[in-house]
Structure 1
Amino acid sequence: MPTLLIIHHTPSPFMQEMFEAVVAGATDPEIEGVQVVRRAALAVSATDVLEADGYLLGTPANLGYMSGALKHAFDTFYYPCLDSTTGRPYGLYIHGNQGTEGAERSVASVTTGLGWEQAAASVIVSGPPAKTDIERCWELGATVAAQLMA
């Protein structure tokens, strides 16, 4: 059974709302045969990443960069997974009040190095997530999970 790994850093109510929408989309009953695994960025391991077939990444934008927690996750698994996860799909959601472009760019740099393929447009939210932002998060989760269906 294909596995979708959600790697997230969720330190705020806004990030929690986005995370829950991503999970709801990824676990929609119409998506069959995909196991969804959730790992906090500070708890994810190289084994988690190697065992997954696709990824959803969630981070706040901190001072124009991805969160330190997501950066730590990448530092933990980058080299052990470098040649073994090439071509796998991923999606990204970001919340921030400023500097979201830098956060998106920093994640893109690492995922490009890993050879991952962006499977859907990133969801980037500034300020409180609107209903349409939450819907886009749901769609992100559903889109990446659906691509893994056998």
Structure 2
Amino acid sequence: MAGKRLLIVAHAPSDNTRRLAESALRGASHPDLSAVETFWIPPLEAGPDDVLAADAILLGTTENLGYMSGALKDFFDRCYYPVLELKQGLPCALYVRAGMDGTGTRRAVETILTGLRWNWVQEPLVLRGPWQDAFAEQVEELGLYMAAGLDSGVL
């Protein structure tokens, strides 16, 4: 049985964003990381109990009109107060699939995570402009780094 749990909460409304979420899951599920159990739950299905059971969280969202996806916002609306006092310090990371620059999306998520007092493991990964296959590789690497951090006890 795995000792640590990495929760991936990623909105994936298109083939490319699904590819990103699957890449995060693949990276975090690397066979050398046996002490980490990884779950991908879409934001409309994830809830406070999922966050409470997690040792780290990786968030993924699209940029929608300069803001995070409505699905991720809904996740925060339902989870914020139930986890606020219990999950302070939760290691977190974010990737944004941004057709534009992703600034508003990043700022909105950062504001919520500051209120939750979660700890960034790295700067948010903003995947800007037209689709590039390298986006999936970058998100897979992010998933791997998060899981490796949990596996080694760094996170």
TM range (shorter): over 0.9
Among 27, 32, 35, the residue aligned to 2:29: 27
Task: Give the structure 2 partner of residue 110 of structure 1.
Answer: 112
Identity over the aligned pairs, expressed in percent?
A: 38
The answer to whether the 8 A contact 2:101-2:128 is kept is no
TM-score w.r.t. structure 1 length? 0.94
CA apart distance, 1:122 = 2.1
CA apart distance, 1:132 = 2.6
Task: Give the structure 2 partner of residue 55 of structure 1.
Answer: 57
What amino acid sits opposite 2:42 in the alignment? A
Task: Give the structure 2 partner of residue 11 of structure 1.
Answer: 13
Could you tell me how far apart the structure 2 residues matched to 1:3 and 1:129 are? 30
Structure 1 gaps of 5+ residues are none
Is 1:122 the counterpart of 2:88? The answer is no
Could you tell me how far apart the structure 1 residues matched to 2:8 and 2:85 are? 20
TM-score w.r.t. structure 2 length? 0.91
Could you tell me how far apart the structure 1 residues matched to 2:134 and 2:33 are? 22
What amino acid sits opposite 2:8 in the alignment? I
- Describe the SS at the equivalent of 1:29: coil
Is 1:145 the counterpart of 2:133? The answer is no
CA apart distance, 1:21 = 1.1
CA apart distance, 1:127 = 3.7
The answer to whether the 8 A contact 1:21-1:134 is kept is yes
Task: Give the structure 2 partner of residue 81 of structure 1.
Answer: 83
Among 91, 100, 107, the residue aligned to 2:102: 100
